[in-house]
A and B are shown apart, each in its own frame.
Chain A
Amino acid sequence: MSAPVQNPQHGPIIGPGHTFRSVTDKISAVVLSRQPVAWFIGFGISFLLANLLLVSIANLLFRGIGIWGVNIPVGWGFDIINFVWWIGIGHAGTLISAILLLFRQEWRTSINRFAEAMTLFAVACAGLYPVLHLGRPWLAYWLFPIPNTMGIWPNFRSPLMWDVFAVSTYATVSMLFWFVGLIPDLATLRDRSQSRVGKVIYGTLAMGWRGAAKHWHRYETAYLLLAGLSTPLVVSVHTIVSFDFAVGVIPGWHATIFPPYFVAGAVFAGFAMVLTLSIPLRKLYGLEDFITQRHLNNMARVMLATGMVVAYGYLMEIFMAWYSGNTFESFMVLNRFFGPYWPLYWLLIVCNIGAPQFLWFKRVRANPLALFVVAMFVNVGMWLERFVIIVVSLSRDFLPSSWGIYHGTFWDWSTFIGTMGLFMSLLFLFIRFLPMISIFEMRTLVPEAEVKEDLV
């Protein structure tokens, strides 16, 4: 048996000693055998929090949006902050699955399934907010261009309108991509499931996959096409989300740098979340062989790179405020530095610029615990970034007479924490019922899959 696939510079992307069988056994066992106690505890807590979300939504629909802290001038608060935050988190999934696939980055294999699932669930959480933040959520369908007898169309000039298309396209393509990638593994589970119910459900979802060469051929084509489709979405979604702000006139919003800066921020946040979730999971399910140090190292590098782009964005905002000579812009910057929300701004700088600097050090990148801490900082920092952009800018705009202060209420927090509960619940269910690492793709990484010259 030859040595495992290995890049001498970066360490292995799969642990030593694995065969087709061991990979399949190991990953499918997570689904097909009994879950550890930690799963039940984790899912239980998450499910409770998801119920908090239901209570919050029911209360919101019953009493009105006034239960939140939004006011005039701060018309958007936790709702849009969380929307952008969740959408940002969703970015890593597509990036890993589509762009890294096209670039033939094999190391993506063990984390792509998982990152895609995370994307879907994050987009589901994000998708709740644009509906819930409406004064009249039951009319949300008016944002879609549905032909109607009154001949009223949405306003195609509005970035919120573009958001509808961007996010729904993104959700659809991500879903397809994820599902198509799952098909061979669903077939594996169908074959290995002991229970009748499992066989039927996995069998239905596997859509008759028999592993024929024709299947594989079509699968590869479809998967590649979907990857090509998804690639522009990585850039487009957050670009359009950034238009929500950049198109506005409010100082702190009205900036041309927003699209690239938002995209970089989204990838930054997405990788931070992948790290946040994968580090505990690989430990819990003993998957260190599949999600290796090399994976963690690579993800940390992406975070560092995108984090620097984000830092550049922050600096440019400050520079432009000075360079433009616009009093409103320079006040906006000073207000971030020293205004009523100054601690949040500086905390944001610490989290998003300060913390990632540790990733320059190999020792930090090699230490899962340290990486986890940095990732948590980035998760918080990216939330704060949206808080600063949305709330701090709105709270003090042009006329000081209408300046105000915003703070989240109980229901703001409960909705936010509730979506985290929903996200985690979905994730736990995903771990429980679907292979969180692509089995068939992992199999291509083991030494047996190497095409051996002498056999030909």
Chain B
Amino acid sequence: MSHTQDPTAESPTRLDWNTVRERLQQHTGRTYWRSLDELADSENFQSFLHAEFPQEASILSAVGRRQFLQLMGASMALAGLSACTRQPEEKIVPYVKAPEQIVPGEPLYFASAMPTPGGALGVLVESHMGRPTKVEGNPDHPTSLGATDVFTQASILDLYDPDRSQVVRSVDEIRPWASFVESFRGAVEAQRANQGRGLRILTETVTSPTLAEQLRQILTLFPEAKWHQYEPCNQDAALGASVQCFGEAVHTAYHFDKADVVVSLGGDFLAGPNAVRATKDFTRRRRPSEQDKLNRLYVVEPTPTLTGAIADHRLPLRQSDMEAFAHALGAAAGLPLTSPSIMAPHQPWIAAVAADLRKSGGRSIVIAGPEQPAAVHVVAHHLNHALGNVGTTVTYTESLDTSQTGHLNSLRNLVVEMDAGNVAVLVILGGNPVYTTPADLKFVDSLKKVALRVHLSGYDDETSRLCNWHIPAAHYLESWSDVRSQDGTISIIQPLIAPLYSGKTAHEVLALLTDPAERPSHDIVKDHWKVRHPGPDFDHFWRRILHDGSVPDTAFPTKSLTPNADALRALAAPGASSSLDLLIRADSHVFDGRYANNGWLQELPKPMTKLTWDNTALIAPATAERLGLQSQDVVELKLQDRSVRAPVWVLPGQAPDTVTVHLGYGRTRAGRVGNGAGFNAYLLQASGFPWNATGLEVHKTGEQQLLACTQDHSSMEGRDIIRTLTLDEYEHGHEGQEKHEEMSLYPAYPSEGYAWAMSIDLSACVGCNACTIACQAENNIPIVGREQVGKGREMHWIRVDRYFEGDVDNPSTHHQPVPCMQCENAPCEVVCPVNATVHSSEGLNDMVYNRCVGTKYCSNNCPYKVRRFNFFKWNDTETESLKLQRNPDVTVRSYGVMEKCTYCVQRINYRRIQAKKEDRKIRDGEIVTACQQVCPADAIVFGSLHDPKSRVSELREDKRNYALLEELNTRPRTTYLAALRNPNPELGGKGKA
């Protein structure tokens, strides 16, 4: 099926915004709605009529076939679906010497760390018979405390990605590594003579102490050589502001667990690759507990984010007004600033926030997002200082980012030197600068002037294409290295498997510059640590840090700093913009583009839009109305001489006159999954200030592009699906949420053994989707591709529903994870004609894949629609590398069978076996489901209801506890805890701005 449709062929009815508003005004009380189309009561019927007529099964077309290949490449399967086919003959050879520790069927866990852009996350990696299958958080690591995020979960798929670069390549020839070494050494020798004048090394943020040390050595050996750093999602503005305030680049660490009031100025601190600890700390204060009171979050932001979604008060504000807002808040909180007149309409809001901040008595946080200009950060630093937050909720430490002048300056310098012909050898370690550099720098033209260009990269990508040498990089799960997380804690990265595709590490490439002989990274890293930790107990130390996953006492010490008042005085009066603002943001899943070839991430619905496989130009409903645009209209975005074509998505809560685009799409050499998805937003970026721009022009093209949205299909009115309570209602009781009596004609199940149940705390859930992807990794869930998602055939066993409530311009947003409810009176079980879904004695609603004939009746009769069907054979049973990825404890499903959440029955059984061996009962908390384990908000609790002391039993007694659609008497074993919000009484209402 063609991606872009002829507009005459299908033109969905236009949305009438006045109708939307009128309808909303007519409603009294709490109304939820999901889609703008639905609100306007406009009809999808035209599209229905159109599609009624044969569009032809798209899989047959050329594009469809490519898509099919993509799926094959990225999803997963098993070799063993061989009911009728003969297994190929294989030789089975027993181990002559059994490897230490390996017991067939028993997984092993190794501590390591996943390098993130600008940091690291401590992980434990599950290994089955020598192949890593799942990444979990390391409970002992301060960045993780046992949880992980979507990127970490998906990294396991990257390891086995058949599209990863597999060979050393020189221009178009495959060459041996030795050939590169020889050629590279020759060029380096030439540089040695002139002190390395023509030698440049370009890295991303270097988080590895060993690599930093190697670079230091190189710069000593080649005094004229230079090291540049560039990472598209950098901290330039934040670090620039810290230089202005403190005279040095420092990292600002926020301790959300200690903060009673948090004010975020465009800071989406609950999303992104280093957000696990922040989410953990923040959500600890989102649920009622005896020690802490509930925190309160105010968010001012130009584009909806997860942080804004969970806020008690959210104010959508144009990016060009953010500085003015910072000034106004500063003035209200007592800083020597004047409140700009354009902030007058928001003054009561600002006054209430400032009063709340002052009341908190040094237990508040003012946080500015990395995409905010330095001025906003400067005000935030001064506010934190003035409010007495520094030292308790806000601390300053050394920054991992050692670029000094900022990444963009570093890159700009490199471009200038390349243009001047000063660069003879450029070694690019990681990153993909050809794709990720702002368009105005014309990096490609400059790069071509360098004689020898070497690129070390996991994929043979856009940059590799333009380099003389491409070296395949080893994945972090197949490398030796070390890495520092943002708080300074160092972890050793240890390989779980030998490089699948003979990848090399940055250490090994740099060693060619310093060492006469090639050295494996294991030796390089270990030798580095031998120097750092001399003494006879090194072996013991080494083994301990490998086992623990972190080196003790390496966190950065706190710096005691006072912001320089001059910085505040130096701030220019904020301006305002009357044109359209353009915001460029990292994508919530493919980030800056580095994860573009990861099918799990591509198919993961984006938390706010629920779109998959594409990026879009997000605009506010009011702006869409003014510009006459609808979701899926293709527009041309033009900023000065740069332009891209992008599909529009109308997103409630977006600031007016603001277009948000996300990075990471429009890749041309990402691989079979990532190529051709979305548009490249870097083409709009300017190096001056990459995140925000004004003066955007939007031109309609008259075309339409179908986008694959998993949930924005309809609206909800008045249904009791997500319950929200204010703190006041929770403490003093509330009305209108009746309990339904449970009735059954069947006798109760005997209450012996275990009764598995799950509790999901909607107060804590931030909607980050980590559960969905963890489930995908644990349960061998395939991906289906854009087209099939568009048809409503996505396979996620646990989905995160997103609902809007209230005002279309600034709605409250609610997230709700929905796994199988494991109903005690399961409607699915009754209707299966072949007994393929049956109830277990412990209350699980078991799915017997082998028995399933695929009537789909169970799914039809499931009120929660959590069942997923294999409409095609989604699983790739051909690709060798993907066979290694799968969890051997979970059946890989073939076509024609139903599947669904099992409460991770394989984990339950594993623990049951262990408990039986030890002749005891399974302890509460011993079984951790995949979604529960990954959750950085600790929103999911699993256990047995027959144990009255289990956490899940206790939570069921909480007055927030409710069952979804309990009036159907399905008696779900999965129940929810109502979301608690803590709005400021002075601002009234239900938590809206």
Contacts and interface: CB of A to CB of B under 8 A. Distances in A.
A157 B830 contact: yes
B251 interface: no
Nearest to B34: A400
Contacts of A341: 45, 48
Contact of B871 (A64, A76, A140, A143): A64
B969 to A, nearest CB: 9
B923 interface: no
Given A73-B792, A399-B801, A135 B854 contact: yes
Q: Which of B717, B793, B834 has the most CB of A within 10 A?
A: B834
Interface string A415-431: 00000000000000000
Interface string A141-181: 01100000000111101111100100000000000000000
A143 B834 contact: yes
Interface string B699-730: 00000000000010111111101000000000
A405 to B, nearest CB: 6
A140 B833 CA distance: 10
B854 A400 contact: no
A340 B871 contact: no
Contact of B834 (A155, A396, A403): A155
Given A71-B791, A397-B865, A410-B54, A404 B856 contact: no
B27 interface: no
Interface in A372-425: 394, 396-405, 407-411, 413-414
Interface stretch (A246-254, A282-290, A352-360): A246-254
B52 A76 contact: no
A99 B965 CA distance: 46
A338 interface: yes
Interface in B22-46: 32, 34, 41, 43-45
Given A143-B833, A143-B853, A340-B44, A401 B54 contact: no
Interface stretch (B92-100, B439-447, B892-900): B892-900
A123 interface: no
Given A71-B793, A338-B41, A405-B44, A158 B871 contact: no
A48 B166 CA distance: 52
A411 B717 CA distance: 35
A342 interface: yes
Given A135-B896, A247-B831, A401 B801 contact: yes
A136 B830 contact: no
Contact of A164 (B52, B791, B833): B833
A342 B855 contact: no
Given A71-B791, A155-B832, A160 B716 contact: no
A74 B51 CA distance: 15
Contacts of B855: 133-135, 160
Given A135-B895, A157-B830, A343 B792 contact: no
A65 interface: yes
A123 B173 CA distance: 65
Interface residues of A, number: 61
Contacts of B34: 400-401
A260 interface: no
Contacts of B752: none
Interface stretch (B55-63, B133-141, B470-478): B55-63
B718 A407 contact: no
B314 interface: no
A71 B55 contact: no
Contact of A400 (B715, B852, B857): B715
Contact of B870 (A74, A75, A135, A142): A135
Contacts of B721: 399-400
Contact of A75 (B43, B53, B835, B859): B859
A65 to B, nearest CB: 6
Which of A63, A71, A400, A405 neighbours the largest number of chain B CB atoms within 10 Å of its CB?
A400
A155 B870 contact: no
A247 B860 CA distance: 12
Interface string B820-844: 0000000100111111000000000
B853 A142 contact: yes
A158 B792 contact: no
B879 interface: no
B823 to A, nearest CB: 10
A397 to B, nearest CB: 7
A72 B792 contact: yes
A65 B601 CA distance: 26
A244 B34 CA distance: 31
Interface residues of B, number: 71
Contacts of B45: 340-343
Nearest to B830: A157
Contacts of A139: 853
B347 interface: no
A221 interface: no
Nearest to A251: B863
Listed residue (B861, B870, B897, B970) with the most chain A CB atoms within 10 angstroms of its CB:
B861
A70 B714 contact: no
A393 B864 CA distance: 14
Nearest to B965: A398
Contacts of A394: 860
A327 interface: yes
A228 interface: no
A63 B827 contact: no
A34 to B, nearest CB: 38
B835 A66 contact: no
A338 B38 CA distance: 11
A66 B854 contact: no
B965 A67 contact: no
B54 A413 contact: yes
B835 A155 contact: yes
A155 B45 CA distance: 38
A66 B793 contact: yes
Q: Which of B718, B818, B853, B867 has the most CB of A within 10 A?
A: B853
Contacts of A331: 717
Contacts of B965: 398-399
Given A70-B871, A136-B896, A250-B860, A400 B714 contact: yes
Contacts of B802: 401
Contacts of A73: 792, 859-860, 865
A410 B756 CA distance: 45
Nearest to A397: B863
A407 B792 CA distance: 12
A240 B138 CA distance: 56
A397 B865 CA distance: 9
Given A248-B861, A340-B43, A65 B791 contact: no
A394 B857 CA distance: 11
B718 A327 contact: yes
Interface in B402-430: none
Interface in A55-70: 63-67, 69-70
B861 A404 contact: no
Contact of B788 (A66, A327, A338, A343): A66
Contact of A398 (B859, B863, B895): B863
B711 A401 contact: yes
Given A400-B716, A400-B719, A63 B833 contact: no
A157 B898 CA distance: 19
Contacts of A404: 713, 792
A411 B898 CA distance: 22
B85 to A, nearest CB: 14
A71 B869 CA distance: 8
Given A64-B870, A250-B861, A399-B865, 5 more contacts: A133-B856, A140-B853, A158-B830, A160-B831, A343-B45
Q: Which 10 A-B pairs have the closest CB atoms?
A: A135-B854, A135-B896, A66-B871, A75-B856, A410-B54, A402-B865, A400-B716, A71-B792, A403-B714, A401-B801
24 contacts: A70-B856, A72-B793, A72-B869, A75-B859, A76-B860, A133-B855, A134-B854, A135-B854, A135-B898, A143-B833, A143-B834, A155-B830, A158-B832, A160-B831, A164-B833, A248-B860, A249-B827, A327-B718, A327-B719, A343-B45, A398-B864, A402-B864, A409-B57, A410-B56
